[in-house]
Amino acid sequence: MELRDYFKLIGRHKVIFWTIVVLCGLSAVIWTSIQPKSYLASTTFTVNKSSSISQKDSTTYLFDNYYNIQSAGLFSQIVTTWFESPSLVTEIYQKAGLPVPNVSQKKLAKTFKAIREEPATINVNLTGTSPEELNKLLNSAATVLQEKTDELSKTGDTTYDLAKFTPVVTDNSPNLVLNAIIGLFSGLFLAILLVLGVEYFKEK
- Per the prediction, the chain carries an average pLDDT of 86
Per-residue pLDDT at 65: 61
pLDDT in tens, 97-144: 999 999 999 999 999 999 999 889 999 999 999 999 999 999 999 999
Per-residue pLDDT at 166: 92
The domain locations on the chain are: 3-35+175-203, 39-171
Q: Say whether 106 sits in a helix, a strand or coil.
A: helix
Per-residue pLDDT at 161: 87
Question: CA neighbours within 13 Å on the CB side: how many for 63?
Answer: 5
Cα separation, 175 vs 30, in Å, equals 12
Percentage of the chain beyond pLDDT 70 is: 86
pLDDT in tens, 67-92: 777 888 889 999 999 999 999 999 99
Cβ atoms of 32 and 184 closer than 8 Å: no
* Domain spanning 39-171, CATH class: alpha beta
Three-state secondary structure along 138-187? HHHHHHHHHHHHHHHHCCCCCCEEEEECCCEEEECCCCHHHHHHHHHHHH
Per-residue pLDDT at 13: 83
Q: Report CA-CA distances (Å) from 153 to 45, 49, 67, 161, 163.
A: 18, 11, 17, 10, 16
pLDDT in tens, 136-171: 999 999 999 999 988 887 766 668 888 999 999 999
Per-residue pLDDT at 41: 96
